[in-house]
């Protein structure tokens, strides 16, 4: 069965510092991978997606993620974090085991220090 | 209104009450979803509707009853809930639930439900 693991429940970085949020997945076939962000009091917003091709994908708000098949990872990165990036970030894998559905990781809450 | 809206944003109900959550999408999509987001648990898919037809019921207890009268509206009817049902209920939509289009979902802000 497919699963998504986000090892870090909380991360705190200073404003202007670089960021990397980890995501590991378990899925038998070629995965479709996603990062969503949830700001306080809001629903989830799609940041970026990977279906195939170039393993480094660019998203909105200056985020990027890299698919590494050998490590079963899809880590999210940003070179310089802004205070407005404080939110919860969810990695997800798309699969079609029973219909086309998303399985989400547990989320990583990002806090940004001034 | 744009995107996906949900009402009410907050709801407190007793275990014997009956209430409904409403979701409306203004994106011209044909698939709609209900998710449950509990503290310390990953987001759980509850129901999927594609072109008004329910295509997925993820072993959800019958005290949750979805309704999709058209592709723009989705309801979740609640009755005789338990305190452990307290959570954030998120609605989402996508172009449809076929192929990769199913994965690009647009979420509403959610209804924070508290069962007392």
The DSSP symbol for A80 reads S
CB contact under 8 A, B100 and A107: no
Q: Are A94 and A31 in contact (CB under 8 A)?
A: yes
Residues 22-51 of B with CB under 8 A from A: 40-43, 45, 48
The whole-number average pLDDT for the span B29-57 is 91
Query: B110 contacts in A (CB within 8 Å)?
Result: 43
- How crowded is the C-beta side of B56, counted as CA atoms within 13 Å? 23
CB contact under 8 A, A102 and B105: yes
Q: Residue A47: what pLDDT?
A: 96
What the block records as the tokens of B47 is: 């129901």
The whole-number average pLDDT for the span B60-86 is 95
Interface test with A, best of B27, B40, B42 (most A CBs within 10 A): B42
- What count of other Cβ atoms lies within 10 Å of the Cβ of residue A105? 25
Query: B99 contacts in A (CB within 8 Å)?
Result: 100
Q: Residue A95: what pLDDT?
A: 77
Model confidence at A110, pLDDT cuts 50, 70, 90, reads very high
The whole-number average pLDDT for the span B34-49 is 91
Who among A32, A41, A94 is closest to B109 (CB)?
A41
Q: Of A18-22, A52-56, A69-73, B56-60, give the lowest mean pLDDT range.
A: B56-60
DSSP B35-74: EEE-TTS--EEEEEEETTEEEEE-S--TTEEEEEEETTEE
Who among B4, B98, B102 is closest to A43 (CB)?
B4
Model confidence at B76, pLDDT cuts 50, 70, 90, reads very high
Query: A34 contacts in B (CB within 8 Å)?
Result: 103
Q: Residue A1: what pLDDT?
A: 73
Query: B100 contacts in A (CB within 8 Å)?
Result: 32, 51, 94, 100
Mean residue pLDDT across chain A = 92
Q: Are strands A108-113 and A87-95 parallel, antiparallel or unpaired?
A: antiparallel
Q: Residue B105: what pLDDT?
A: 93
What the block records as the tokens of A75 is: 């880590």
Q: Residue A97: what pLDDT?
A: 67
Q: Residue A22 pLDDT more than 80? A: yes
The whole-number average pLDDT for the span B7-28 is 95
The residue in chain B having the minimum alpha-carbon distance to the alpha carbon of residue A10 is B40
Model confidence at A98, pLDDT cuts 50, 70, 90, reads low
Cβ pairs bridging A and B (under 8 Å): 62
Q: Residue B1: what pLDDT?
A: 57
User: Tens digit of pLDDT for each residue in A56-94?
Assistant: 999 999 999 999 999 999 999 999 999 999 999 999 998
Distance in angstroms (rounded) separating the CA atoms of residues A37 and A62: 13
Mean residue pLDDT across chain B = 93
Return the beta strands (E) in A1-114 as ranges: 3-5, 10-14, 19-21, 24-26, 32-38, 44-50, 56-58, 64-68, 73-78, 87-95, 101-104, 108-113
């Amino acid at each position: 069965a497919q699963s998504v693991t986000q090892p870090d429940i909380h991360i705190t970085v200073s404003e202007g510092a670089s960021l990397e949020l980890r995501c590991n997945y378990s899925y038998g076939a070629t995965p479709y991978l996603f990062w969503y962000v949830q700001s306080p009091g809001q629903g989830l917003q799609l940041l970026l997606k990977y279906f195939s091709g170039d393993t480094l994908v660019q998203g909105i708000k200056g985020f990027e993620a890299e698919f590494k098949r050998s490590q079963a990872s899809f880590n999210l990165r940003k070179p310089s974090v802004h205070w407005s990036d404080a939110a919860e970030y969810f990695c997800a894998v798309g699969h079609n085991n029973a219909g086309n559905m998303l399985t989400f990781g547990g989320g990583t809450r990002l806090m940004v220090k001034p | 209104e744009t995107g996906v809206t949900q009402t009410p944003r907050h709801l407190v109900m007793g275990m014997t009450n009956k209430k409904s959550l409403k979701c409306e999408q203004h994106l011209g999509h044909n698939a709609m979803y209900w998710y449950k987001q509990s503290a310390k648990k990953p987001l759980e898919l509850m129901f999927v509707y594609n072109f008004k037809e329910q295509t997925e019921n993820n072993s959800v207890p019958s005290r949750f009853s979805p309704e999709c009268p058209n592709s723009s509206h989705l309801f979740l009817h609640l009755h005789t809930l338990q305190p452990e049902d307290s959570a954030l209920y998120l609605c989402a939509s996508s172009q449809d639930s076929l192929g990769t289009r199913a994965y690009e979902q647009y979420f509403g802000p959610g209804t924070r439900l508290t069962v007392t």
